[in-house]
């Protein structure tokens, strides 16, 4: 769809356009266009009923909220009451949560209309959406390529124009990397800015929910709706939410921006070229841009691939066939557990459970998990040192543009390396977002990443807005 | 079996006590913390461990855990929750949120009534599991047809109190567990009901030749009463001594106490034990009660059993008899010390108030809360003044407990009004005439028959005679008879 969420909401709130009309358009685009397999489940009836309710409330003179009538897609690891939530895993086949995630409640309260649940790498473990039990999502920019992952379905649904907004989750780059590969905006907020209640956990200390949108302003609008303290998540932050939507238009003159050497070197020449151009664009807008090396960034990936699997091995233990989801019967409870998990989890999930179990085992904990936690603190210190000199940091979101389907699927390490640029911000907990900035020679989108200190989302959105305005090709969302 | 090990051997015991905290709601969700409800009715996404759910720590549970810490003279420290990972169907997340190397309470002590002191290594917070029932077949875990799981208990707050290996006899283990239970109840932290599983005890038992280093220990589980605790420790110690004396070695393992068979059975060895893969719980922030909160909790701690016992002992001028010390302990354990103290404050004699409370009042404990202390103390004064005999006073007390009222009026309605002197003399004389042999023995100075004579008078008067008056009349008749001869 061609309209942005801000425009849709303004029109619906003003009664210039009906929510039903908007939602019907979104549903028909999905019905005719989703051979890229962005959606696992489309909720046409519920969405239309919801749209009608919004139209009635407008007719009654009420304000349905800042996202009035905006169709939105949710990654399938966000719990939706009565609606299947599978994490693209066989082990959760048929499970319908009895409750809504906090973000789902907040979107509804803001007038958004949930049109469907999107495909993902199983339990958010992957960078291509190929690790889904129901098959991969294709990149709408080039169907022979992956959309990135793990929020590949959400990124593709926005890039394909099915919806103006989608939610994803980002544990090591799972929002920003597919946003970059699909050419949309993707935000990983400060850890704790958005409640994780109702997000099926992958790695609890790293997971954050965030928006994917066709524009920087739409992403800011959506994040303002879902952000803020939630008593059901004790890691969610108290205190005011940064003013993000207003920041998008704010001048960036005088902001000190560090171009991170490690996030330029080691990327493909074309990605590196776009990132340098984005730095020049910010300099042109009046920022003081300077290159800075943060050597810790080189070590983030190995720490991440111990901490995340360790937490995952524990978080995913509950899928034992006893209470919900898949059960493969066997002679006793323990055998049932083994049979269920053997049949229910895909190979990448099993690999990470084994890695994580090993990293936490007696005799290995200090060598692996504890050491990885020290590296994590060291990476956070690297950010902190840089923020002593800079207001924000800039670099590539991904080492390359979208790779071909199947290109990395036989080589887990090559796949893991595609998270290199995004993982550090998960380790530090600071916010980061990807903004489309030009393409490679083949027309594939390149994303640049803007980083800010914790709760510095306003600065981050101001710079993202500036980048969006100066991006070389302003390809309209399809 | 006795508490005695063969000469030269010493028993070493440490106890791990799990107690459920008396909170209104569970440790990490708002579900009621209640016992005996329909299965799987007190559950929600959090305590069922549903995907996406997150724990939120119950402030009241932290307070009660801190109370336990203060009561056991622990230091209350900044603490961290850890995940203890293992698979079991009644544990919904397949990990238990517990505390590992940073418990909330550390390094305390518990002084037993006999003055001995047992160290307390830690008292940490954790969540309870659900409950599995094996159905059909043998009904045992290995041979059942199927199993049912009730998650009502899942997420109920527990404090695990780990003693140092300072206990040296089964009697001392009993004393420790009962004193700890009394402290838990008195502090309001737990109801301490072993029969309902709200207090559960595991025993680490080892033996050694006196003066040698600790032997290998076995952990004994399934101790459902203090009696089981004592029996299991004695059995296990004897087993270990016999094993070592026969040239064997004790293997570190978990053993199950079989109450019916009266013995412990191997459950799993150390090699088969789980690797719990503890790591900090990322869904909870560290817990660091500040000084203000800690002192508020310390200030709100109700008086503890040891102090309450000392208060009662003080009523005896500091020198109660051993029997009275036992009564004081039982009165404090039954939470009836305020009855004794209240009666004494109203003028009742301490010994009588203690005895009646420890026996008659305690026997009707569910009514004791409503006992009118004024009426109780007046009754005690009637008894002490000889206006009512002991049997009569007990009958009046029973009525006072059941229905309340004025003790004098109750006595009157029961026909316990003192007979006039002439009437009593007549009855005693008649009874004595009917029992010439006993009377002769009594005259000859055999005081053992006195009870029989008094009993006969009481029967003849349907218990309405005052025992003290009867005794006096018998003595008067004896001196009169002696004087006459
Ligand atoms: Zn609950």
Looking at residue A478, its pLDDT comes to: 43
Among A84-98, A228-242, B363-377, the minimum mean pLDDT is found in: B363-377
Integer Cα distance of A88 and A427 in angstroms: 25
By residue count, chain B amounts to 485
Q: Residues A29-47: what's their mean pLDDT?
A: 97
Structure tokens at A58: 């407008």
Tokens of B261: 């068979």
Say whether pLDDT at A473 is over 70.
no
Whether A379 is covered by a domain: the verdict is: no
Backbone angles phi and psi of A235, in degrees to 5: -90, 0
- Residue pLDDT, tens place only, A102-113: 999 999 999 999
Residue A282 forms part of a structural domain: yes
Give the residue from A348, A354, A358, A356 showing the smallest Cα distance to A308: A356
Place of tokens 């939610």: A167
| CATH code of the domain covering residue A124 | 3.90.1300.10
Query: Ligand 1 centroid vs B46 CA: distance in angstroms?
Result: 5
Helix/strand/coil (H, E, C) string of chain B? CCCCCCCCEEEEEEEEEEEECCCCECCCCCCECCCCCCCCCCCCCCCCCCCCCCCCCCHHHHHHHHHHHHHCCCEECCECEEEEECCCCCCCCCEEEEECCCCCEEEEEEECCCCCEEEEEEEEEEECCCEEEEECCCCCCCCCCEEEEECCCCCCEEEEEEECCCECCHHHHHHHHHHHHHHHHHCCCCCCCCCCCCEEEEEEEEEEECCCCCCCCEEEEEECCHHHHHHHHHHHHHHHHHHHHCCCCCCCEEEEEECCCCEEEEEEECCCCCCCCCEECCCCCCECCCHHHHHHHHHHCCCCHHHHHHHHHHCCCCCCCHHHHHHHHHHHHCCCHHHHHHHHHCCCCHHHHHHHHHHHHHHCHHHHCCCCHHHHHHHHHHHHCCCCCHHHHHHHHHHHHHHCCCHHHHHHHCCCCCCCHHHHHHHHHHHHHHCHHHHHHHHCCCHHHHHHHHHHHHHHCCCCCCHHHHHHHHHHHHHHHHHHC
- A409 carries an active-site annotation: no
Task: Determine the residue among A207, A236, A322 to mutate to test chain B binding: the one whose Cβ has the most chain B Cβ atoms within 10 Å.
Answer: A322
Please state the domain count of chain A.
1
Residues A361, B275 contacting (CB under 8 angstroms) = yes
**Active-site annotation holds for A236:** no
Domain-embedded: residue A37: yes
Q: What average pLDDT score do residues A382-396 get?
A: 98
Residue ranges of chain B with pLDDT lower than 70? Answer: 1-3, 139-142, 270-272, 318, 417-419, 484-485
pLDDT of B421 reads 73
ipTM of the complex model = 0.96
Q: Do A232 and B282 lie within an 8 Å CB cutoff?
A: no
Q: Mean pLDDT lowest for which of A234-243, A353-362, B359-368, B386-395?
A: B386-395
Is A362 within 8 Å of chain B by CB? yes
Q: Does A102 touch chain B (CB under 8 A)?
A: no
Q: What is the DSSP letter of A145?
A: B
- Residue A67 maps to a domain: yes
A153 touches chain B (CB under 8 A): no
pLDDT of the residue at B229: 96
Domain that holds residue A445: 4-294+384-470
> Can you read off the two tokens belonging to residue A83?
């609606």
Partner residue opposite A317 with nearest CB, options B93, B283, B285:
B93
Say whether B94 and A318 touch across the interface (CB within 8 A).
yes
**C-alpha count within 13 angstroms, C-beta hemisphere, residue B99:** 25
pLDDT at residue A472, as a whole number: 85
Residue A33 burial class via C-beta count within 10 angstroms: exposed 0-12, middle 13-18, buried 19 and up: middle
Pick the CATH number of B421-484 from 1.10.10, 1.10.1220, 3.30.70, 2.40.128: 1.10.10
* Catalytic residue flag (residue A75): yes
Task: Give the pLDDT confidence of A279-300 residue by residue, as tens digits.
Answer: 999 999 999 999 999 999 999 9
CA distance A38 to A161: 11
Decide if A478 is inside a domain: no
Among A75, A104, A323, A361, the strongest candidate for a mutation testing the B interface, having the largest count of B CBs within 10 A, is A323
Compute the distance from residue B55 Cα to the ligand 1 centre, in Å.
Answer: 9
Instruction: Say what the pTM is.
Output: 0.89
Closest chain B C-alpha to A268 CA, distance in angstroms: 36
Domain boundaries, chain B: 9-300, 305-413, 421-484
Confidence (pLDDT) at B469: 82
* Residue A476 pLDDT class (50, 70, 90 cuts): very low
Q: How far is CA B289 from CA A239, B63, B105, B161, B298, in A?
A: 21, 9, 11, 19, 12
In a domain, A346, yes or no: no
Cβ atoms of A400 and A421 within 8 Å: the answer is: no
Which residues of chain B neighbour A337 with C-beta distances below 8 Å? Answer: 87
Q: Give the DSSP H/E element, type plus range, for residue A397.
A: none
Average pLDDT, chain B: 91
Å between A314 CA and nearest CA of chain B: 7
């Amino acid at each position: 769809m061609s309209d942005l969420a801000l425009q849709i909401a303004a029109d619906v709130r003003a009664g210039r356009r009906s929510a039903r009309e908007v939602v019907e358009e979104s549903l028909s685009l999905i019905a005719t266009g989703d051979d890229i397999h962005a959606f696992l489940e489309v909720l046409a009836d519920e969405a239309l009923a919801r749209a009608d309710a919004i139209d009635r409330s407008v007719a009654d003179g009420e304000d349905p909220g800042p996202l009035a009538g905006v169709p939105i897609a949710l990654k399938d690891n966000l719990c939706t009451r009565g609606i299947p939530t599978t994490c693209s895993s066989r082990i959760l086949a048929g499970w319908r949560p009895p409750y809504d995630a906090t973000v789902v409640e907040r979107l509804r309260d803001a007038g958004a209309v949930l049109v469907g649940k999107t495909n993902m790498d199983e339990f958010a473990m992957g960078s291509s959406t190929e690790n889904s039990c129901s098959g991969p999502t294709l990149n709408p920019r080039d169907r022979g390529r992956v959309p990135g992952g793990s929020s590949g379905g959400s990124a593709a649904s926005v890039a394909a124009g099915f919806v103006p907004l989608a939610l994803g989750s980002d544990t090591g780059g799972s929002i920003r990397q597919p946003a970059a590969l699909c050419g949309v905006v993707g935000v990983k907020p400060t850890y704790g800015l958005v409640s994780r209640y109702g997000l099926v956990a992958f790695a609890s200390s790293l997971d954050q929910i965030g928006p994917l949108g066709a524009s920087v302003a739409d992403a800011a609008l959506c994040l303002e709706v879902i952000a803020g303290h939630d008593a059901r998540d004790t890691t969610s932050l108290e205190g005011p939410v940064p003013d993000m939507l207003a920041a998008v238009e704010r001048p960036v003159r005088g902001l000190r921006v560090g171009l991170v050497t490690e996030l330029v070197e080691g990327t493909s020449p074309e990605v590196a070229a776009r990132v340098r151009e984005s730095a020049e664009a910010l300099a042109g807008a009046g920022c003081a841009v300077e290159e800075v090396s943060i050597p810790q960034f080189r070590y983030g990936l190995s720490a991440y691939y111990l901490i995340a699997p360790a937490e995952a091995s524990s978080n995913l233990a509950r899928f034992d066939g006893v209470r919900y989801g898949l059960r493969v019967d066997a002679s006793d409870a323990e055998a049932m557990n083994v049979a269920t998990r053997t049949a229910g989890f895909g190979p990448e999930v099993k690999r990470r459970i084994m890695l994580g179990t090993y990293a936490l085992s007696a005799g290995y904990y200090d060598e692996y998990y504890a050491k990885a936690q020290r590296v994590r603190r060291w990476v956070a210190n690297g950010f902190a040192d840089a923020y002593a000199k800079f207001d924000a940091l800039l670099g590539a979101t991904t080492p390359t543009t979208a790779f071909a389907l199947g290109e990395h699927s036989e080589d887990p390490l090559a796949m893991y390396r595609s998270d290199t640029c995004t993982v550090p911000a998960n380790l530090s907990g600071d916010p980061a977002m990807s903004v489309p900035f030009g393409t490679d020679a083949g027309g594939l989108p390149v994303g640049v990443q803007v980083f800010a200190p914790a709760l510095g989302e306003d600065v981050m959105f101001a710079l993202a807005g500036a980048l969006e305005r100066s991006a070389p090709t302003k390809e309209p969302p399809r | 079996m006795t508490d005695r090990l063969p000469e030269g051997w010493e028993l070493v015991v440490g106890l791990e006590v799990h107690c459920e905290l008396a909170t209104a709601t569970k440790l990490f969700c708002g579900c009621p913390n209640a016992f005996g409800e329909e299965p799987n009715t007190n559950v929600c996404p959090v305590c069922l461990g549903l995907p996406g759910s997150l724990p939120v720590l119950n402030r009241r549970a932290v307070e009660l855990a801190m109370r336990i810490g203060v009561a056991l003279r622990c230091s209350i420290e900044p603490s961290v929750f850890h995940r203890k990972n293992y698979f079991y169907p009644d544990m919904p997340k397949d990990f238990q949120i517990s505390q590992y190397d940073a418990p909330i309470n550390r390094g305390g002590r518990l002084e037993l009534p006999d003055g001995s002191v047992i160290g307390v290594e830690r008292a940490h917070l954790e969540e309870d599991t659900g409950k599995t029932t094996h159905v059909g077949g043998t009904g045992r875990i290995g041979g059942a047809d199927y199993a049912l799981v009730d998650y009502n208990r899942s997420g109920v707050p527990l404090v695990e109190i780990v003693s140092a290996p300072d206990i040296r006899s089964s009697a001392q283990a009993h004393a420790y567990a009962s004193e700890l239970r009394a402290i838990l109840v008195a502090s309001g932290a737990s109801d301490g009901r072993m029969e309902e599983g709200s207090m559960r005890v595991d025993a680490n038992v080892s033996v050694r030749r006196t003066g040698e280093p600790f032997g290998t220990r076995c952990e004994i589980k399934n101790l459902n009463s203090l009696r089981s605790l004592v029996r299991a420790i004695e059995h296990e110690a004897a087993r270990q001594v016999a094993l070592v004396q026969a040239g064997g070695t004790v293997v570190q393992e978990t053993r199950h106490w079989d109450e019916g068979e009266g013995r412990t059975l191997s459950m799993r060895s150390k090699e088969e034990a789980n690797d719990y893969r503890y790591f900090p719980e990322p869904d909870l922030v560290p817990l660091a009660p500040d000084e203000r909160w800690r002192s508020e909790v310390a200030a709100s701690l109700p008086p503890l059993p040891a102090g309450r016992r000392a208060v009662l002992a003080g009523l005896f001028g500091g020198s109660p008899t051993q029997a009275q010390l036992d009564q004081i302990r039982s009165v404090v354990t039954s939470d009836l010390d305020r009855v004794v103290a209240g009666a004494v404050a109203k003028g009742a004699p301490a010994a009588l108030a203690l005895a009646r409370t420890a026996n008659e009042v305690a026997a009707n404990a569910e009514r004791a809360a409503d006992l009118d202390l004024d009426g109780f103390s007046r009754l005690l004064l009637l008894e002490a003044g000889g206006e009512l005999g002991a049997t009569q006073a007990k009958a009046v007390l029973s009525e006072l407990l059941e229905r309340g009222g004025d003790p004098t009026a109750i006595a009157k309605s029961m026909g316990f009004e003192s007979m006039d002197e002439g009437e009593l003399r007549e009855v005693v004389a008649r009874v004595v005439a009917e029992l010439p042999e006993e009377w002769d023995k009594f005259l000859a100075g055999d005081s053992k028959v006195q009870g029989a004579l008094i009993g006969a008078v009481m029967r003849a008067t349907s218990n309405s005679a005052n025992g003290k008056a009867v005794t006096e009349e018998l003595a008067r008749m004896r001196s009169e008879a002696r004087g006459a001869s």
